C-alpha cells in the first residue's frame, strides 16, 4: 500500500470512529438509559453475592463473592458492547438508510470494520470503567490482591477474539436484513449462558461445558477473576491465555474474509440496500 493510500485509509478510519462518538453524543439520553440499566444490573449482581451467605446459612467469603459477581457483570458488559457494536454495524447503517453510501465509498472493508471495532473498544473501556467507579460506591471492595496488569492483558487479548466474533456475527444483518439482528441477540444470549458469566462452567451439564470451552468469554472471565481475585500473572494463567490468543488469531482474520465473501453474495442477491 502506498503512503498516499495509507493516509486515505487512516482518514477513513478516523471518520468511522468520530462518527460513532458523534452518535454517542447525539443519543446521550439513550446512553444514560443504558448506563443506568447496566449499572443497576451490576449492583444487583453484587448484592446477590452479598446475600448468598444468608441463603446458605454458612460463613462465606462475602467480599470474594461480591467481587466474583461484579467482575462477571462488568466484564460481560464490556464484551457485550464490543460484540453488539461490531455485530450491529451493518444493521445500524440500514436503519439510518446510509448503508448504500458507506458501502459504495472507496474504503477497504477491513478499515471499515476494524475502525468500528476500535471505537467499540474505546467506548467499552470508558463505559465499563465508569460503571466500576459507580459500583465501588455501593460495596467495600477488597482489591488488595488484584493484579491490574494481568487484568489489562486479559482484557486486551479477549478483545481480539470478541471483535472477531462480532465481525462474524455482523454478517447476519448483512445477508438477512429482517432476521439478522434477532439472530445476533440469540447468539449473544447463548454466549452468556454457556460462558459462566455468573458461575463456573463446571456447574453446567457436561455437553454445555464442552460448548462453553469454545467461547472466548469463558477464558476471559476465568482470567479476569484469577487476576483480580487471586492476583495471578499472565504466565500463571497460560491455560486461559492461549485459548484466547488462538481464538483471536482464528476469529479475526476469518471474520474479515467471511464478511468480504458474504458482501459479494449480498451484492449478487441485491440485499445491500436501505430496505430489506
Partner 1 sequence: MADALLANNIVKAFKKSRKEIKALKGISLRIKEGEIFGLLGPNGSGKSTFIRIASTLLIPDRGSISIFGYDSVSNSASVQRMINRVSVEASFFRKLSAVENLCFSAGLYGIPRREALKKINGLAERFGLDLKRLKDPLEDFSRGMQQKVAIVRAFMTEPKMLLLDEPTTGLDPRAKRDVQSLISDVKNTMNTTMLLTTHDMDEAEKLCDYVAIIHLGRIVASGRPSELKKQLLGKVDNPSFEDVFLEFTGMSIEEAEYQEVESA
Question: With binding defined as CB under 8 A, does residue 15 bind partner 1?
Answer: yes
Classify each residue of 260-276 as buried b or exposed e, where b means 16 or more C-beta atoms within 10 Å of its C-beta.
Answer: eebbeebeeeebbeeee
Question: With binding defined as CB under 8 A, does residue 204 bind partner 1?
Answer: no
Choice between 11 and 185, CB closer to partner 1: 11
Question: With binding defined as CB under 8 A, does residue 178 bind partner 1?
Answer: no
Question: With binding defined as CB under 8 A, does residue 273 bind partner 1?
Answer: yes
Sole binder of partner 1 in the list 41, 63, 102, 176 (CB under 8 A): 102
CA dist 240 and 218 (Å) reads 9
CA dist 265 and 263 (Å) reads 5
Question: With binding defined as CB under 8 A, does residue 122 bind partner 1?
Answer: no
Shortest Å distance, C-beta 260 to partner 1: 12
What DSSP line would sit under 222-246, residue for residue? Answer: HHHHHHHHH---TGGGHHHHHHHHH
CA dist 88 and 166 (Å) reads 8
Phi-psi category of 199—alpha, beta or left, where left has phi over 0 and alpha has psi -120 to 50? beta
Question: With binding defined as CB under 8 A, does residue 1 bind partner 1?
Answer: no
Kindly determine how many residues on this chain lie close enough to bind partner 1 according to the rule CB under 8 A. Answer: 33
Residues that bind partner 1 (CB under 8 A): 7-9, 11-12, 14-16, 18-19, 22-23, 26-27, 96-98, 100-107, 264, 267-270, 272-274
Amino acid at each position: 500500500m502506498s503512503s498516499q493510500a495509507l493516509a486515505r485509509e487512516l482518514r477513513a478510519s478516523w471518520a468511522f470512529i468520530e462518527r460513532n462518538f458523534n452518535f454517542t453524543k447525539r443519543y446521550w439520553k439513550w446512553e444514560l438509559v443504558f448506563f443506568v440499566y447496566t449499572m443497576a444490573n451490576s449492583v444487583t449482581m453484587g448484592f446477590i453475592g452479598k446475600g448468598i451467605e444468608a441463603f446458605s446459612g454458612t460463613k462465606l467469603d462475602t467480599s470474594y463473592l461480591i467481587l466474583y459477581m461484579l467482575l462477571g457483570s462488568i466484564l460481560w458488559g464490556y464484551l457485550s458492547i464490543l460484540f453488539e457494536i461490531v455485530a450491529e454495524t451493518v444493521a445500524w447503517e440500514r436503519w439510518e438508510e446510509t448503508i448504500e453510501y458507506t458501502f459504495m465509498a472507496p474504503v477497504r472493508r477491513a478499515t471499515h470494520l476494524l475502525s468500528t471495532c476500535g471505537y467499540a473498544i474505546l467506548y467499552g473501556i470508558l463505559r465499563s470503567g465508569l460503571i466500576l467507579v459507580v459500583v465501588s460506591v455501593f460495596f467495600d471492595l477488597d482489591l488488595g490482591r488484584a493484579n491490574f496488569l494481568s487484568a489489562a492483558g486479559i482484557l486486551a487479548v479477549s478483545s481480539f477474539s470478541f471483535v472477531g466474533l462480532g465481525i462474524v456475527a455482523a454478517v447476519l444483518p448483512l445477508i438477512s436484513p429482517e432476521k439478522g439482528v434477532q439472530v445476533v441477540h440469540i447468539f449473544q444470549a447463548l454466549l452468556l449462558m454457556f460462558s459462566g458469566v455468573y458461575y463456573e462452567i463446571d456447574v453446567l451439564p457436561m455437553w454445555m461445558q464442552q460448548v462453553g470451552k469454545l467461547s472466548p468469554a469463558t477464558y476471559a472471565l476465568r482470567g479476569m477473576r484469577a487476576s483480580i481475585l487471586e492476583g495471578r500473572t499472565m504466565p500463571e494463567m497460560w491455560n486461559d491465555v492461549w485459548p484466547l490468543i488462538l481464538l483471536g488469531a482464528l476469529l479475526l482474520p476469518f471474520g474479515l474474509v467471511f464478511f468480504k465473501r458474504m458482501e459479494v453474495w449480498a451484492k449478487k442477491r441485491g440485499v445491500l440496500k436501505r430496505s430489506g
